[in-house]
Structure 1
Amino acid sequence: MSVEQSRKEDKLPHRTNLYVNLPSTLWPIVYSPDYNITFLGLEKLHPFDSGKWGKIVNFLKEEMLIKDETIVRAIEAQEDDLLVVHSKRYLNKLKWSFIVATITEILPVAFLPNFIIQRKVLRPFRTQTGGTIMAGKLAIERGWAINVGGGFHHCSSDQGGGFCIYADITLAIKFLFERVEGVSKAMIIDLDAHQGNGHERDFMDDNRVYIMDVFNRYIYPGDGFAKRAIKWKIELEWDTEDSEYLEKVKTHVAKALRQVTPDIIVYNAGTDILDGDQLGGLAVSPQGIIKRDEAVFEAARKYKIPILMVTSGGYQRSTARIIADSILNLHRLQLIDQRLI
């Protein structure tokens, strides 16, 4: 093999199970029971409902939107997949239980053997990360996709935090850039209550990625350096309510899409904007969240841009029902269907 041939092979994408071709009969809704974290009750030490993803799917099944056999089963991201973004050094750090405890904010995890942490904590996160990557491909093929999990927007290539261990948003976009012809520009619309500092750090100097972030200015992470990557920044005050919030989202999403037309929108649809959320500090109603998601999908349809939605943060038990109701509303309005393109 010549040196030139060797260099060409080095540039070829790695082999992965995440970009498999799937039957068109499946809905581009991605989920696995492995998303849910249950381990000796330790998951209850964090305010996040670590079983919400299964609850969302159960609500959708009860409403007859989906069945187990009609949704896409997420596949766990392997080390080679994660290395597309993450450094080997960072992945090795996750072999220390103390590091995982710090990222997940569940301190007793630090005292558990790491092989248990890998299976009970990190595997669910890797499976959700695989789900986001798979949903990126599906969004391009079908016009839309929803990963029932994912949205780990505080994790960057070399640092986790805020219950975010793998940079699934960055990974999904990098996979698309490397593997899908015609995808060269992405827009992240991050509407979680918290600043998405992870993907912002990852795409700091990458003009292919346009980031819009709407967040509570006073809460975690307050990452001033990462804010430099935000192209369209809307910082909210405490207790922002429906009317102001929805007006800002609709107005600024429209302005951003008039400024740039991406090949895909990655929509981080956190529900921690809900009134009463102890970490979000905003005051949006359940109906306000449903109308927000509707507005983002309407904008994507108007400009004929494929959209990938991830569910991200939300720290009240009612968020699973709200997310399911929002997905049902999108279907009722024909903003999602089995295939839109």
Structure 2
Amino acid sequence: MPHTTQLYQHVPETRWPIVYSPRYNITFMGLEKLHPFDAGKWGKVISFLKEEKLLSDGMLVEAREASDEDLLVVHTRRYLNELKFLFERVEGISRATIVDLDAHQGNGHERDFMGDKRVYIMDVYNRHIYPGDRFAKQAIRRKVELEWGTEDDEYLDKVERNLQKALQEHLPDVVVYNAGTDILEGDRLGGLSISPQGIVKRDELVFRVVRGRQVPILMVTSGGYQKRTARIIADSILNLYSVGLIGSESPSLSAQNSDTPLLPPEVP
């Protein structure tokens, strides 16, 4: 008997399909400030969007804590540590594409979906940095390895060409887009040289290509080890709205930890 979950929910038109909780922002007696990752950037993104009058209180989807029944949708009772997404347990999705544009190789999901032909993985990353997981690379269907200091023009060209080919090879029911901002110039861990404008263009490019094929897209953020990344993420969301790639007729797919809107209502 398939397990059910309350984490996937209908998003009313009066709300943006942004699942957010202040608990996403990590604090530990100030020690979080010693780490280069901005553990409070999600709250800053929301604050920036409110300042721009794109959001107001009551327009977000409140995050729900996962119950055992929710966890059993993706985990087994044996321990819940086998991170296998069981498509047969989630209605409506039988083929998925992961577009991983974080600066680091996404070896976690690559190991999770090793050998699963229903999941197509495209990964664009700096080949010289962590993790360098050779085994996990076997799961990548479209691998784009970058050199130190790759800049906007080369990067955007490679992303667009390979994304078009990826969707030609495997047309999915949903695209999960990992929109890491550690590609930003000056990020010592990412080692690439993409400008803030380049990141905004990248996100627009991905949405334009995927939406052009009538495929729902779920955008999540990940790496980004500079304080200014929160502003860039907010600027990208504003741009997607202004160019009409997210709007009242956009397909909506809401999931926990998504911090990108796909169906904005009118702001009062």
- TM-score normalized by structure 2? 0.88
Write the letter of the residue equivalent to 2:31: L
Q: How is 1:191-340 mapped onto 2 (pairs within 5 angstroms)?
A: 191-340=101-250
SS in structure 1 opposite 2:45?
helix
Work out the CA distance in 2 between the residues paired with 1:191 and 1:237.
Answer: 14
Q: Which residue does 1:70 correspond to in 2?
A: 59
* 1:338, distance to aligned residue in structure 2 (A): 3.7
Give CA-to-partner distance per residue, 1:209-254, whole Å, 9 cap, x none.
0000000001111111110000000000001010110110011101
* 1:179 alignment partner, one of 80, 84, 90: 90
Q: Output one character per residue of 1:245-302: Cα deviation in whole Å (capped at 9) or x when no partner.
A: 0110011101111112111000000000000101100000000000000000001111
> What secondary structure sits across from 1:275 in the alignment?
coil
Distance in 1, Cα, partners of 2:26 & 2:195: 27
How big is each residue's C-alpha offset from its partner over 1:302-324, in whole Å with a ceiling of 9 and x where there is no partner?
10100000011100000000000
Structure 1 Cα separation of the partners of residues 137 and 65 of structure 2: 31
1:189 aligns with 2:81: no
In the alignment, the residues of structure 1 paired with residue 48 and residue 60 of structure 2 have an alpha-carbon distance, to the nearest angstrom, of 14
Aligned-partner Cα distance in 1 for 2:31–2:72: 29
Q: Percent identity?
A: 63
SS at match of 2:162: helix
AA aligned opposite 2:19: V
- Shift of residue 44, structure 1, vs aligned partner: 1.6
* Displacement of 1:71: 1.8
Of structures 1 and 2, the larger Rg is shown by 1
Give the residue type in structure 1 aligned to 2:2.
Answer: L
Task: Provide the residue aligned with 1:12 in structure 2.
Answer: 2
Equivalent residues of 2:98, 2:119 under 8 A apart: yes
Secondary structure of the structure 2 residue equivalent to 1:70: coil
Distance 2:222 2:249 in 1: 24
| 2:48 corresponds to which of 59, 69, 81 | 59
CA contact (8 A) 1:215 1:235 kept: yes
The corresponding residue for 1:8 is: none
Cα distance in structure 2, aligned partners of 1:200 and 1:177: 20
Q: CA deviation at 1:22?
A: 3.4
Residue 86 of structure 1, CA deviation: 4.5
CA contact (8 A) 2:73 2:89 kept: no
Contact 2:106 2:123 in 1 (8 A): yes
Q: Which has the higher helix share?
A: 1
Contact 1:25 1:338 in 2 (8 A): no
CA distance in 2, matches of 1:294, 1:52: 21
Q: For residues 196 and 37 of structure 1, do their structure 2 counterparts lie closer, same or farther at Cα, with a shift above 3 Å needed?
A: same
Shift in Å, 1:21: 3.1
Which deviates more, 18-27 or 222-231?
A: 18-27
Give 1:43's aligned residue: 32
Aligned mates of 1:59, 1:291 — CA distance in 2:
19
Q: Secondary structure at the match of 2:58?
A: helix
2:12 counterpart residue number: 23
CA separation in 1, counterparts of 2:11 and 2:202? 30
Question: Bigger relative contact order, structure 1 or 2, given CA contacts below 8 A and separation 6+?
Answer: 2
SS in 2 for 1:27: coil
Q: TM-score, normalised by structure 1?
A: 0.70
**1:67, distance to aligned residue in structure 2 (A):** 1.4
Amino acid at match of 2:51: E
Encode CA deviations 1:130-181: one digit per residue, 9 max, x unaligned.
xxxxxxxxxxxxxxxxxxxxxxxxxxx45xxxxxxxx6xx65xx4x652223
d(CA) in 1 for partners of 2:79, 2:242: 43
What SS does the aligned partner of 1:324 have?
A: helix
Report if the CA contact (8 A) 2:11-2:17 is conserved: no
Q: How far is 1:19 from its partner?
A: 2.5
CA shift for structure 1 position 17: 2.6
Unaligned runs of 5+ in 1: 1-10, 92-156, 159-166
**In 2 relative to 1, CA 240–285 (structure 1 residues): closer, same or farther, beyond 3 Å?**
same
Please report how far the alpha carbon of residue 89 of structure 1 lies from its aligned counterpart in structure 2 after TM superposition.
7.2
Cα RMSD over matched residues? 1.8
CA contact (8 A) 1:191 1:214 kept: yes
> Which amino acid is 1:243 matched to?
D
Q: Does structure 1 retain, via aligned residues, the 8 Å contact 2:45–2:231?
A: yes
Aligned to 1:96: none
2:115 and 2:244 map into 1 onto residues whose CA distance is: 37
